[in-house]
């Protein structure tokens, strides 16, 4: 479940990035729309996208310990039932 939520968050953040970029004319989708060097635009966008991926990974890392005690408790309950 945490993986699905992390993927959803990354997609929502990317959608917001493109939506804000298109509304403010800050995203260069087709090339040649701005006078800035293409490499600097690519590096800036790559840094933002990498931060979104880091947020997604952080959600996965945080979600794993949340479900671990529940999984251990359920597995112990089933094994005790089988031993009885």
Q: What is the mean pLDDT of residues 61-75?
A: 82
* List of long-range contacts for 48-57, beta carbons under 8 Å, 24+ apart: 48/17, 49/14, 49/17, 52/10, 52/13, 52/14, 52/17, 53/10, 55/9, 55/10, 55/13, 56/6, 56/7, 56/9, 56/10, 57/6
CA distance linking residue 6 with residue 14, whole number of Å: 12
Q: List pLDDT tens digits, range 9-66.
A: 999 999 998 888 777 766 665 555 556 565 677 787 888 889 999 999 998 888 777 7
Please report the pLDDT score of residue 15 as a whole number. Answer: 92
Specify the pTM. Answer: 0.61
More confident: 18 or 8 = 8
Residue 76, SS3 per DSSP: helix
């Amino acid at each position: 479940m945490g993986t699905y939520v992390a993927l959803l968050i990354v997609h929502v953040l990317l959608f917001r990035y493109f939506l804000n970029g298109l509304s403010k004319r800050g995203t260069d989708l087709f090339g040649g729309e701005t006078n800035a060097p293409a490499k600097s635009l690519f590096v800036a966008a790559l840094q933002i996208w990498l931060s979104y991926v880091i947020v997604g990974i952080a959600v996965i890392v945080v979600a794993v310990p949340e479900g671990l005690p529940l999984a251990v408790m359920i597995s112990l309950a089933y094994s005790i039932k089988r031993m009885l």
